[in-house]
Structure 1
Amino acid sequence: MRKLRYFLIFLGFFLLSPVSAKQSPKSEIPTSYRVVKGDSWFGIARKFKISAETLAKLNGRTTTENLYERELLRIPKGNEKISVSSPESLIKEKPSYPLERKERVVKKFSELTYDPHKGIQFQRGTSSLVRASLPGKVVHVDYMDGYENFVVLEHQNGLYTVYGNLERIQVTEGQEVKSKDRLGILSKDKGLYFQVNKQKQSLNPERILEGGI
C-alpha cells in the first residue's frame, strides 16, 4: 500500500494528473496514533491537519528526533491547544544548491498548458554530486523512463523535492538527511532534473533557490 501511495504521488509530480480526494464522512479525531513503517512527523501531522511541531511538542519531542515503528503518539483533541511560536513552524533555512557548482538551466519551469514543465533541467556540466537542498526524509527511491533513477525527499510544511537523472543513488527510503547531504551521482549524459512541490502544487525551483521558501 505504501508503495502504491507514493507511486500515485509521483504520477502527480511527473505526469501532472489532477488527483481528486474522496470526501470522507465527518468523524471524531482520534486521540492517539500508532506509528507505522515509513511515517514521518510531517506526514502524520498532515493526516490530522496540525503542524508537525505541535504534534512533536505534545509528545515531548522535536521534529529532529526519529520516530519508532509501533510507537504510540498523542494527537491533540479539537479543543486542545499547544503553543508553538510561528517561526518554528516555518522553514528558516534557505535551500542549498542541489549540485556542487552552479550549472546553467537548459529547460525552465513552465505552467503553460501547451508546454508544461514542473521542474527545471540543469545542463550536464562538471558537477556530478547531487545533494539534498533541504533537510528532510527520503520517502521514495525509484526508476522512471525519462527521469532515470530519482529520489524524492519530504520536508516540513508539505514540501517535497525531486532529484532525477541519477546514475547511482546513495540513500535509502526512510533515511533522514541534512541540507547538502549526498543523495547520489548524476548520469554521465544528462543534467539534473530538480522539482519542488508544496503538496500538489509545483513551485518554481529557480525562485526557491534564489529567494528561499
Structure 2
Amino acid sequence: MKEKPHTSLVTSHVPYSPPRYPVEAMVKRSQDFYSLMNQRRTVRFISPEPVPREVIDNVIHTAGTAPSGAHTEPWTFVVVSDPETKHQIRLIVEEEEEVNYRQRMGDKWVNDLARLKTNWIKEYLDVAPYLVLIFKQTYGILPNEKKKTHYYNEISVCISCGILLAALQVITSWLMYMIYSIYPSYMFLFLLFLCSFFNFHTSISHWCNTEMPQ
C-alpha cells in the first residue's frame, strides 16, 4: 500500500493573477532588463566597504522564490560576517582549489586560465564583508522523522543562485558579487561573496566549478 502524503504537506489552491502588459511594454521591459544584466562583469577587485544587511536579507528572500522540484525548496542560506569564520572558509576553499589546479582540472583547463592569471589563492574571502553560503539539501525530514525526497535538488539550487545574482544586479549597480561552487565529499556548497566594487560602478560574478573528489 502506498503511503499517503502527510496532511501538513497538502496545500490548498492559491489564486494567481499575474499582470499583463501590452506588446510594446513587454519589448521595452525586456530590453531594459537585458541592458541592466549586460552590465555584469567578471573581475576580482574587492573592497571591504560595508553592504547593508537588509540588502543581503532581501536578495536571499528573492532567491527563495525560485522554482524547485515538487516545491521542496532544497536550499539553506547562511550569511557569514565574522572575520575568523570567513578566514576558516578561505582556508577550506584554497585547499580544494589547490587540488583542482594541481590534479583535477588538467593541463588544458589550467592553460586556458593562465591568461586570466587566476590561482588558488583567494585573499578576497577575508576582504568581503559578507560570505553567503548556499547549501543543497539532498533530502528533508518529515514530521514523522522519515526522509522527504528533494527532486532535482542540485538544479533547483542552481536556479535559486541565478535568481540571487539577477536580484543583486537589479537592486544596485555598485554591489559586487563573486560566486563559487565546490564539491566536498559530504555536501554541495555554494559560496557567494558580497562586497562593494572598488573604483568601478558595476556588478560581477565569477563561477568556478570543480569536480567531485575521488
Is TM-score (shorter-chain normalized) higher than 0.5?
no
TM-score (norm 2): 0.23
Q: When you count strand as a share of all residues, which structure comes out higher? A: 1
Instruction: Indicate the structure with greater helix content.
Output: 2
With the length of structure 1 as denominator, give the TM-score of the two structures.
Answer: 0.23
